[in-house]
Amino acid sequence: MVGQTSNSYDVFLSYHWRDHAQVEALAHRLHEQKLTVFLDRWYLAPGQSWPKALETTLANCRAVAVCIGQGEMGPWQQREQYLALERQVAAERRGQTFPVIPVLLPGAEPPLGFLSQQSWVDFRARVDDPVLLNTLVNAIHGKPPGLDALEAVRNTLATLCPYRGLLYFREEDAPFFFGREAAIAQLTSAVQQHSLVAVVGASGSGKSSVVRAGLVPELRKSRERVWEIVTMVPTDRPIHALAPILMPFLEPDRSETDRLIETNKLAEAFLQGTVKLREVVDRVVAKQPGTDRLLFIADQWEELFTLCKDEVARRCFIDNILEATATTRLSAVLTLRGDFFGRAITHYRPLSDRVQGAQVNLGPMKREELRLAIEEPAKKVGLTFEAGLVDLILAQVGDEPGHLPLVEFVLRRLWEDRQGGQLHHAAYKAMGELQRAIAQKAESLFSKLSHQDQRKVQQIFLRLIRPGEADTRRRATLAEVGAEEHRLAKQLADERLLVTSQVAGGGEETIEVSHEALIRHWDRLKGWVEADRRFLLWQQRLRIGVEQYEEHHKSGDLLLRGFPLTEALEWLKNKPDSFSQRERQFIMDSKMQMLRHRWRTVSIGLLALLVVGGPLLWVGRQGVTLKYASGIIMARLHLVSVTEPEMVLISGGRYQQGDLRGLGSGGEQPVRQVAVKSFLIGKYEVTFQEYDRYVEMTGGVPSDYLWGREKRPVINVSWDDAVAYVKWLSRATGKSYRLPTESEWEYAARSGGKDEIWAGTSDEKQLADYAVFRQSRPESVGSKKPNGIGLFDMSGNVHEWVEDCGHTHYQEAPTDGTAWLDANGGVCDQRVIRGGSWSDLEEPLRLSSRVWIATIKRYDTGGFRLVQDLP
């Protein structure tokens, strides 16, 4: 069972700590199948030499299940699977069996290194599948797989491509990494001689693959020295990226939440100098008897200068690495692009002195090396190339540096288009050959999107580009890309044009362009960047300001002012979809500070006397705040802009109000004729963009649940909130706005009193063209068709407050189109909502459907629209 203290186990579960919950649940299910399970290496007695104890434990297990989740395998897991595969080979030499079973968890990408294994269990679709669990149990017992299990294994193996496309080779893909043997040998020798080594090469030369799939496996094979290996990329916060890769070694038994807390504490201790990396390394090695050295890999070292703008954090990071590699059992390998070498290495004399003589330059692959990289992975899976195809690819590569990712990309495409076991000339030609393949793939995907999605894809890519003399990719969080674009970002990642990853330590998910080859070769993307270069360069400077503002606890001294603020507001006006929420908030905070400063220069008394003559009298008398009154005055003086709703004229007339077809409840009866005067009504529901201007001046921002603001209808506003907004807007503009009456609302929704079940149609099959419903969140206003008089979202998207008080029927209701308030038993602490919402089924979207709820109620399906009386 889990926690077994016996010396013998049926199965050893190898896993990454981030997958602990899923693997522990699997362990319990295996225990229920009467299997003894070794779940975690921390059941080993403390103080032992852990490599020897691990070998002993594995020797007493009858099988090993390697559980593979989303992301790369962990350092301990790598050690475990190496030992398991070694034992499997030794057992086969003796004519025995030792099952090593890859177990795929949700989100896993099958590692190429396990391609030769006969038993795979693929839980990616469903982790609690009883049939797959039985397959795993049989594999643990060493029973031959049945026909169904063999078919499942074949289906899984069919998804394994021997090429990585635009992605780097991982340690677990090492058996399929060919062509860089000389560079790997040189790098391995350098690491054995120097504690700090830099791997330098052009973009696309394969630096990450050489280190991860070349150097690391070589070190793990060593019998002379046991290495523990950790890998990171610096990101914009290098110290905060360093801490989480160390914490699992220091506190292996912590929960994920506790580990996050301790990780932040460790990062702050590094920055404050109260803890040094050398001390942490000594502690890690001490807690792992038998570990000889710790290898620290900092991939994409140039990010210290392209992303990190905090000189203190950068210097702290570099100095800690220099000190620890000089005084402890820590070795470090840095990978960086050659065009950043001067800035990232020679920029700092202590670092350049250490790297002197310990630099491995990775040049373009020789023709025969590239041939190995192309042909050998294919041989391992029984693939062949049509005669002359490999020579054609090699000829097109020539001696150009950085073509390796393009080669891998076309090889993956050839594998996808394979016929039988052969890769063909026709498929190569159809994809556009080497130079045009990646652009053609991107263009093909782009052309299949809707116009709206194409615009979103453009914004996604532009947020992931760092413009410069040579445009490079930029890593961003999914939150920065925007909630509305998550679906498309994931789709592009599935097609390998983007790549997602998790920040170490369980932080935010990030996304980036899969390789800079895409930036160089996709003409459409290059055109976008060129057209927006001025803006992108400006936005790059803005992001630095945002980071400094947030790091200094939003100090007003760091906000924009003067021309920079004017420029920012102009960009925000012209390109509203190009800003993240953080950037937008920074600009709006700057604007509000400017407005506050401007207000202080104006005499409130003079303005009240000469211009307004009223708002100041509210202060004190009616509980109106100075902030509220000053906002009204500034709006009336045009010192700030107010976004007014776009209105549609509704000509008056008579119509039958209520449930004309008997589809609803008694609350929609009796049907009666109502006369409505002409009025103006909002073309759209009030949006966050409109409402946020009000709350900027008065406070109380309603939540959007991270669904996005801007053109989405405002939600989480009570009837009282809506009325307060109406009063504010009326005073700020000098116009008479109000909420519609029920009669006005239904008359307008029915396209001027027509007999329609839903706004725009009575055909249920067409309803999806007119209404947002059966969804997980609201959509931007106007995303569906309008009704017959040009009004959008009268059915669905959000419920809309009206003026009328709650009544259980229409008996004795006004017939002149006015609001029905407290007469005839009206309950005015409850008001009516109409139109249905994004979460509803078809029924509540009917135009006669009505519900009344408390005026103080705020909820995620509730909004409103405005009307205006004609003069």
pLDDT band at 404 (very low <50, low <70, confident <90, very high): confident
Candidates 1.10.3470, 2.60.40, 1.20.1070, 1.10.10; CATH matching 441-531: 1.10.10
Q: How confident is the model at residue 641 (pLDDT cuts 50, 70, 90)?
A: low
- Please enumerate in sequence order all residues whose Cβ is within 8 A of that of 196, keeping only pairs 6 or more positions apart, or say none: 321, 322, 325, 331, 332, 334, 354, 355, 358
pLDDT of residue 426: 95
Indicate whether 734 pLDDT > 60: yes
**What architecture does CATH give domain 180-362?**
3-Layer(aba) Sandwich (3.40)
Residue ranges in 679-718 assigned as alpha helix (H): 688-698
Closest CA to 757 of 669, 683, 842: 842
Give tens-digit pLDDT for 432-473: 888 788 888 899 899 999 988 998 999 999 999 988 877 888
**Tell me, what's the pLDDT at 707?**
67
The stretch 37-53 carries a mean pLDDT of 62
* Mean pLDDT computed over 499-528: 78
- Is residue 118 predicted with pLDDT exceeding 80? no
Domain range summary for the chain, segments of one domain joined by +: 11-157, 180-362, 367-431, 441-531, 602-636, 647-869
Provide the CATH topology of domain 647-869.
paralog of FGE (formylglycine-generating enzyme) (3.90.1580)
**For the residues 769-773, what does the mean pLDDT come to?**
95
* Structure-model confidence comparison of residues 615 and 575, the more confident one: 575
| Average model confidence (pLDDT) across the chain | 85
* pLDDT of amino acid 606: 42
* Cα distance between residue 251 and residue 256, in whole Å: 10
What type of residue sits at position 764?
E
Q: Please answer whether residues 109 and 250 qualify as being in contact, where contact means their C-beta atoms are separated by less than 8 angstroms.
A: no
Identify any residues that bridge with 472 across adjacent strands, giving them in sequence order.
466
For residues 824-832, average pLDDT: 89
More confident residue, 385 or 420: 385
Give residue 782's pLDDT.
92
Domains 180-362 and 441-531 share a fold: no
Rounded to whole angstroms, how far apart are CA atoms 88 and 72?
23
Asked if the model's pLDDT at residue 285 lies above 90, the reply is: no
Question: Which residues are within 8 A (CB) of 419 and not within 5 positions of it... i.e. 6 or more apart?
Answer: none
SS3 content of the chain, % helix, strand, coil (to 5): 50, 15, 40
- pLDDT for 155: 76
In percent, the amount of the chain with pLDDT more than 70 equals 88
pLDDT given at position 510 = 82
11-157, what's its fold?
A: Rossmann fold (3.40.50)
Hunting for tokens 């405005």 — which residue is that? 866
* 3-state per-residue secondary structure call for 726-758: HHHHHHHHCCCEECCCHHHHHHHHCCCCCCCCE
